[in-house]
Amino acid sequence: MGALEDFGWDDGWRVSWEGIADAGMVPARVIAVHRDAFVVWTAEGERTAELSGRLRHRAGDEAERPAVGDWVGVRLSPGDGASLLQEVLPRRTHLARKVPGPLTAVQVVAANVDVVVIVAGLDGDYNPRRLERALVLAWDGGAQPVIVLNKSDLAEDVAADVADAVTVAGDAPVHPVSALDAAMLDVLAPYLRPGRTMALLGPSGVGKSSIVNRLVGGEVLATAAVRDWDARGRHTSVHRQLLVSPSGGLIIDTPGMRELQLWDSDDSLDETFADVLEFAPGCRFRDCRHESEPGCAVKAAIEASGLPADRYESYLKLRSERESLDKQRDERAQLDAKRKARAGSKALKAMQKDRGR
């Protein structure tokens, strides 16, 4: 561990801090989240913290809840008591998804991330379609995605797997590795420069914890064997935490997530499927949805074998998911507006009644 600068504090964060600085409050970075408890790093070292009443009220909205990687304002407590987390500095980037289940809300998985390493395993459960979804989330939050194909020692055809990943990767680099061979992970060194933050994203069993252990030079995170019968693993990481590598780079490990539902993805979806949409200017209609419209250049490209059909189908699926979520969010916004209007009307009537007494 070290000074705030070792955790990414720079002149830009100092400027942000000046906008919220208050007497008795110090800057800190969230390095772990345990339900309602937080571990933060301050200039005085590691402290536990809990949300202030005001921030707890604001954090009822998941987007406002502090996440691993956030820079925050903390009022330190004397002794061993929990400090009070009072402010969250505006995020530069984030890694977020829709919360699992029917609730229409966002969950910020990690904040202020420079690089998102999307990890897939080549041990029998590899699917390029999952990479597309993770790429959308990474681009959406403003971080640079990098694809890591782990367990290359177990792959039947590494070259073919890499070629499949390159097809969907766009500008994201693709690296086949084996966490069992520390030397192979040297390809990640350029992304772990001092003060920069890397987050690992991927389902359980792909070897994220093993990769982190190699990068930090010790058995910091627990690992577990993958089940033989379905090539899936257990959730060995149970909470998000930020670790410092010997190189000075910062690593956020995230628990394996079975659901990666989109949130804000308009531009990032188009960026992830740029190879699909490059044909769109040739469509007869400007508002072509590339489904059943006549003169669709995207469908023509598929028929001419210039575009993989499964890539096209994946684009349509994710676009439909995004549009469905947009509709849900609009409906929720309308309900919230009506609820606030009713509450305001009730308050106004109560005030008028009091004045009439």
Question: Could you tell me the CATH number of the domain that includes residue 286?
Answer: 1.10.40.50
Pairing relationship of beta strands 144-150 and 83-88 according to DSSP bridges? unpaired
Q: Are 183 and 296 contained in the same domain? A: no
Pairing relationship of beta strands 250-253 and 241-244 according to DSSP bridges? antiparallel
Q: Are 134 and 58 contained in the same domain? A: no
The answer to whether the beta carbons of residues 113 and 138 sit under 8 Å apart is no
Q: Which among 41, 60, 88 is the end of a domain? A: 88
Both tokens assigned to 164: 């499949």
- Closest to 324 (Cα-Cα) out of 104, 61, 99: 104
**Could you tell me if residue 265 is inside a domain?**
no
**Could you tell me if residue 105 is inside a domain?**
yes
Count helices and strands in the chain by DSSP H and E runs: 9, 13
Beta bridge partners of 85: 51, 74
The series of mean pLDDT values per 10 residues for the chain, 357 residues long, is: 86 91 88 89 92 78 83 86 89 80 71 95 84 87 94 93 92 94 93 93 88 80 44 50 92 70 66 87 91 90 83 87 71 62 66 65
Q: Which among 42, 66, 88 is the end of a domain? A: 88
Both tokens assigned to 66: 């502090």
Instruction: Supply the pTM of this predicted model.
Output: 0.78
Both tokens assigned to 345: 């009307």
343: left (phi over 0), alpha (psi -120 to 50) or beta: alpha
What is the domain range of residue 83? Answer: 4-88
Which pLDDT score, from 0 to 100, does residue 230 have? 41
Q: Which among 72, 88, 104 is the end of a domain? A: 88
